[in-house]
Amino acid sequence: EAGVTQFPSHSVIEKGQTVTLRCDPISGHDNLYWYRRVMGKEIKFLLHFVKESKQDESGMPNNRFLAERTGGTYSTLKVQPAELEDSGVYFCASSRGGVAGSYEQYFGPGTRLTVT
């Protein structure tokens, strides 16, 4: 069984540009989460999808960030326009359906975003 995959592994963009990160969860996992680790700081929750619906987006930092999960499969996280403070590693995780907290979250390798 394939794990959670993320693309790209690394992205370098200039301030003001747009970047789209992609996450493919484990097949059949209804829950999908996005997290971010800014350099040297803790990994912070961004949002949680259950299938195609946003269950909790309380961690999204501002309206420059837009997450989608059309069809309830893969998810994209778009940053537009990117700012310097958006640099960090963006992790995606997925877990099976049911009571979300009952199941282990499997994490992807992360996308390292560098905004210059």
List beta partners, residue 9.
Answer: none
Report the site for another protein in 56-115 (rule: CB under 8 A). Answer: 56, 59, 91, 93, 99-102, 104-110
CB of 27 to another protein, least distance (A): 16
Only one of the segments 10-18, 31-39, 64-72, 78-86 lies at the binding site for another protein (rule: CB under 8 A); that segment is 31-39
Minimum Å distance from CB 80 to another protein? 24
Query: Shortest Cβ distance from residue 51 to another protein (Å)?
Result: 15
Q: Is 3 in the site for another protein (CB under 8 A)?
A: yes
Amino acid at 15: K
User: Phi and psi at residue 42, in whole multiples of 5°?
Assistant: -75, 160
Residues in contact with another protein by CB under 8 A are: 3-4, 33, 35, 37, 40-45, 48, 56, 59, 91, 93, 99-102, 104-110
